[in-house]
Chain A
Amino acid sequence: MTAQTQIIIGMSTCNIAAGAQDVLHLIENRVAADGLDARVSVMGCLGMCYCEPQVKVIDPDGTAHVYTRVTPRRMERILADHVAGGQPRQPWIANFREGAEHDLMDKQQRIVLGNCGHVNPDDINDYIAREGYQALEKVLAQNDPEALIEEVQNSGLRGRGGAGFSTGLKWRFARNNRGDKNYVICNADEGDPGAFMDRTTLESDPHLVLEGMAIGAFAVGADEAYIYCRAEYPMAIARLERAIAQAEERGYLGQGILGTDFSFRVHVKEGAGAFVCGEETALIASIEGQRGMPRSRPPFPAEAGLFGKPTTINNVETWSNIPWIVRNGAAAFGALGTEKSKGTKVFALAGKIKHGGLVEVPMGITLHEIIHEIGGGTNSGRPVKAVQLGGPSGGCIPAHMFDLRIDYDEVTRTGAIMGSGGMVVMDDTTCMVDVARYFLNFTQLESCGKCTFCRVGTTRMLEILTRICEGEGVPEDIERLEHLAHQVKHTSLCGLGQSAPNPVLTTLRYFRDEYEEHIFAKHCRSGKCRNLCSYEITDNCTGCLICKKDCPVNCIEGARKQKHVIDQDACIRCGVCRDVCKFDAVIVK
């Protein structure tokens, strides 16, 4: 084959949201119209969502260049100068080369995301060319499920869906309980707001998840599987369905896989928008066509799960670790991470962060390394105040604790949880009482209503938090919140209620002064709670008119080059003036 230039464009939900579709149209039209000698294909997400859309140009000699923030206009230049003219447009190229320097990648270790951005998710050949399905071939050739489970157990892999239970043990439990019909389930519900690890994995490398599931099914003796994917992820669902069809065609899924008598069919089930359906027993009820209400365990799904049959349920990322472990061995996996948390973890960096996107790091790395060295600190230039880990079940860890190492047990000790990997960074414009109120509002809405304390307790907690944010807080409120928090935690059936108070408890633990300020001083220092703050313009003001122009209620007075003044009676305290001011002249009083 004569070497051809390859133009590969990122087509994931995040790339498309950033405008990749228009760029793709332009590439296709130009390549055809100008007769460029180039092969056009697509890739998933490279993980650097903050500078999408991205286009990778691979020269005929194999050198890859990743262009970032590509617009149709930029793409025209890239096609003319680089693809046709052989002159890469350096300023638009991400300042790293694959496998080389740059901090963003330096600290990362990609097991789960290894293929993201390197394979066309719609082409099984790409996956096969990168050791794809070799792990499945290996376990089928060895034909020893017990040894396979032993290997997974020895690797130390723990569930990545939140709870961190040993995957090997879970499989052993299921295998020991196996009956005439057994299922496996992939939990792709990804309900934590602020998390998008599973979406990206499914969109960028669907075969990886399928291979992991096939290996797991072989281990536990299952022949049928469901992938429960949230309906908000249409692209992930479409790519999975295509991948399943291709894998069946090639004999990696379906009847008599690779000439053995192992058969395995995979269905994709679309969720319908209920956070609690991420909980395994609720998820099973949902697949069965019921309201997604959790039930008490035991019996565990491994004993009586989907349609009453033994069922092994793991998260997308957990399944995605399996092929690597089978290929490289438990020892290699166990060499990564800390004593009790092995391997890597994928995190979704979002919020007030400069380099938002996906990172995969070895366990044991510190929060500081993730947020400052990889993430580049805040995008606002303001100081980081805290990071929220684990979504509505997790907690806020303050910036002074960023030497914390990522490890299931260490994170749990802070009152937060490792969770599924959402990491929302907050700066000093974020009010921690408001964050607690936000999460309680979420869990209160999503509570299925089965347990009284989860249903009513979260409502009462939300009422108290709302009152504090509105300036009506009373001195007893903090104690009441703590009391309710412990009751909700200890009397709820499922993880939703058991963990719903975590955002309140962690903010009370680390940001108690903010609660007290709201209640006693009737003041919100971050400028978020409108009844508790006012905005003022200081002498730093240069009279540039920007805030005046952007104010939604036109309450800023002042001529060009003259200090502006806010009309406090008309001001709605939305904070837009502070956000747009380039001179730090707007302060919260």
Chain B
Amino acid sequence: MNIDLTQVDAIVARVGTDANLTIPVLQEVQEAFRYIPLEAIERIAATTDMTESQLYGVATFYAQFRLAPVGEQIIKVCHGTACHVGGAEGLTESLETRLGIRNGENTPDMKYTLEAVACVGCCSLAPVVMVGERTFGSLDRRKAAAIVDELEERKDAK
């Protein structure tokens, strides 16, 4: 895939070239491209003190980084302890059925990605699902699937 390397250069110019800046640089790259293209890693290595192996090592170590494209909206089902006890598995199952994909996959139209995460810090509302900045709490199977209906409606309204 061809990506706009000038964007990568701009990020490096903004964040810096020090070897200890791998995480902030990769975070900004992911922010810009929504994942980390391998071309971006090569470009950063060529223009900074960071090496390809260091960047790739960091990108694969931390859960936040993705090396493949994701859907427009990431539906994050919390599987922290409180949410697990509160039935998070059921929410994932229900969303899998609703979206027709398995946990961790993208829908074929690349609209949604279904992801399991650990604790988003709203345990008192368990079980919880996050989409973007929005948190949906006190869910059950039915309400979880209804989130997708709501997201679809919003899209139609746009």
Question: B66-123: which have CB < 8 Å to A?
Answer: 79-87, 90, 93-94, 97, 117-123
Q: Is A539 an interface residue (CB 8 A)?
A: no
- Asked if residues A351 and B64 are in contact (CB atoms below 8 Å), the reply is no
Q: Is B40 an interface residue (CB 8 A)?
A: no
Q: Is A401 an interface residue (CB 8 A)?
A: no
- Asked if residues B123 and A356 are in contact (CB atoms below 8 Å), the reply is yes
Residues of B within 8 A of A (CB): 18-24, 26-27, 50, 54, 57-58, 61-65, 79-87, 90, 93-94, 97, 117-126, 128, 133, 135-137, 140-142
The docked-state distance in angstroms from the alpha carbon of A439 to that of B79 is 11
- Asked if residues B23 and A193 are in contact (CB atoms below 8 Å), the reply is no
- Asked if residues A576 and B140 are in contact (CB atoms below 8 Å), the reply is yes
The docked-state distance in angstroms from the alpha carbon of A287 to that of B18 is 12
A218-235 CB mask vs B (1 if < 8 Å, else 0) is 000000000000011110
- Asked if residues B62 and A50 are in contact (CB atoms below 8 Å), the reply is no
A50-87 CB mask vs B (1 if < 8 Å, else 0) is 10100000000000000000000000000000000000
The answer to whether residues A272 and B122 also contact, given A194-B81, A550-B142 and a CB cut-off of 8 A, is no
- Asked if residues B124 and A357 are in contact (CB atoms below 8 Å), the reply is yes
The docked-state distance in angstroms from the alpha carbon of A448 to that of B26 is 20
Query: Which residues in B have their C-beta under 8 angstroms from that of A317?
Result: none
- Asked if residues B81 and A356 are in contact (CB atoms below 8 Å), the reply is no
The docked-state distance in angstroms from the alpha carbon of A422 to that of B121 is 11
A434-455 CB mask vs B (1 if < 8 Å, else 0) is 0100110010000010000000
The 4 closest A-B pairs by CB, nearest first: A193-B80, A49-B124, A194-B81, A273-B63
Query: Which residues in A have their C-beta under 8 angstroms from that of B64?
Result: 231, 271-273
The docked-state distance in angstroms from the alpha carbon of A290 to that of B23 is 8
The docked-state distance in angstroms from the alpha carbon of A251 to that of B29 is 35
Query: Which residues in A have their C-beta under 8 angstroms from that of B23?
Result: 269-270, 272, 286, 289
Question: A1-52: which have CB < 8 Å to B?
Answer: 13-14, 16-18, 49-50, 52
Neighbour of A426 across the interface among B62, B85, B87, B121, CB < 8 A: B85
- Which of B21, B58, B125, B136 has the most chain A CB atoms inside 10 A of its CB? B125
- Asked if residues B118 and A193 are in contact (CB atoms below 8 Å), the reply is yes
The answer to whether residues A290 and B82 also contact, given A17-B128, A195-B119, A550-B142 and a CB cut-off of 8 A, is no
Closest CB in chain B relative to A507 CB, distance in Å: 14
Query: Which residues in B have their C-beta under 8 angstroms from that of A579?
Result: 87, 140
Question: A334-385: which have CB < 8 Å to B?
Answer: 348-352, 356-357
24 A-B contacts (beta carbon < 8 Å): A13-B122, A14-B124, A17-B136, A18-B125, A190-B121, A192-B81, A193-B80, A196-B119, A196-B123, A269-B23, A270-B27, A272-B58, A273-B63, A287-B20, A289-B19, A289-B23, A289-B58, A291-B58, A349-B124, A351-B81, A351-B123, A356-B124, A424-B81, A424-B123
Closest CB in chain A relative to B13 CB, distance in Å: 18
Closest CB in chain A relative to B25 CB, distance in Å: 9
Query: Which residues in B have their C-beta under 8 angstroms from that of A289?
Result: 18-23, 50, 54, 58
- Asked if residues A574 and B141 are in contact (CB atoms below 8 Å), the reply is yes
Closest CB in chain A relative to B93 CB, distance in Å: 8
Question: A415-435: which have CB < 8 Å to B?
Answer: 422, 424, 426, 430, 435
- Asked if residues A196 and B121 are in contact (CB atoms below 8 Å), the reply is yes
Residue of A nearest to B82 (CB): A350
Query: Which residues in A have their C-beta under 8 angstroms from that of B54?
Result: 289-290
The answer to whether residues A430 and B62 also contact, given A193-B80, A289-B50, A576-B90 and a CB cut-off of 8 A, is no
Closest CB in chain A relative to B87 CB, distance in Å: 8
The answer to whether residues A17 and B135 also contact, given A196-B122, A289-B54, A356-B124 and a CB cut-off of 8 A, is yes
- Asked if residues B137 and A272 are in contact (CB atoms below 8 Å), the reply is no
Query: Which residues in A have their C-beta under 8 angstroms from that of B57?
Result: 290-291
- Asked if residues A350 and B123 are in contact (CB atoms below 8 Å), the reply is yes
Q: Is A274 an interface residue (CB 8 A)?
A: yes
Neighbour of B121 across the interface among A233, A272, A356, A391, CB < 8 A: A233
- Asked if residues A552 and B94 are in contact (CB atoms below 8 Å), the reply is yes
- Asked if residues B123 and A348 are in contact (CB atoms below 8 Å), the reply is yes
Query: Which residues in B have their C-beta under 8 angstroms from that of A192?
Result: 81, 119
Closest CB in chain A relative to B14 CB, distance in Å: 15
Question: A245-290: which have CB < 8 Å to B?
Answer: 269-275, 286-290
Residue of A nearest to B23 (CB): A272
- Asked if residues B80 and A274 are in contact (CB atoms below 8 Å), the reply is no
Residue of B nearest to A355 (CB): B124
- Asked if residues A272 and B20 are in contact (CB atoms below 8 Å), the reply is no
Query: Which residues in A have their C-beta under 8 angstroms from that of B84?
Result: 193, 438
Query: Which residues in B have their C-beta under 8 angstroms from that of A424?
Result: 81-82, 85, 123
- Asked if residues B124 and A350 are in contact (CB atoms below 8 Å), the reply is yes
- Asked if residues B141 and A552 are in contact (CB atoms below 8 Å), the reply is yes
Query: Which residues in A have their C-beta under 8 angstroms from that of B118?
Result: 193, 275, 442
- Asked if residues A388 and B81 are in contact (CB atoms below 8 Å), the reply is yes
The docked-state distance in angstroms from the alpha carbon of A579 to that of B141 is 12
Query: Which residues in B have their C-beta under 8 angstroms from that of A351?
Result: 81-82, 85-86, 123, 126
Residue of B nearest to A232 (CB): B120
Closest CB in chain A relative to B131 CB, distance in Å: 12
The docked-state distance in angstroms from the alpha carbon of A340 to that of B121 is 30
- Asked if residues A193 and B81 are in contact (CB atoms below 8 Å), the reply is yes
Query: Which residues in B have their C-beta under 8 angstroms from that of A233?
Result: 121
The docked-state distance in angstroms from the alpha carbon of A438 to that of B79 is 9
- Which of A16, A232, A275 has the most chain B CB atoms inside 10 A of its CB? A232
Residue of A nearest to B128 (CB): A17
Query: Which residues in A have their C-beta under 8 angstroms from that of B61?
Result: 274, 291-292, 448
The answer to whether residues A422 and B81 also contact, given A194-B123, A195-B119, A232-B120 and a CB cut-off of 8 A, is yes
Residue of A nearest to B94 (CB): A552
Residue of A nearest to B62 (CB): A272
Q: Is A199 an interface residue (CB 8 A)?
A: yes
Beyond A14-B124, A18-B125, A287-B20, 8 additional pairs, beta carbon < 8 A: A196-B121, A272-B26, A274-B61, A289-B22, A289-B54, A290-B22, A350-B124, A350-B126
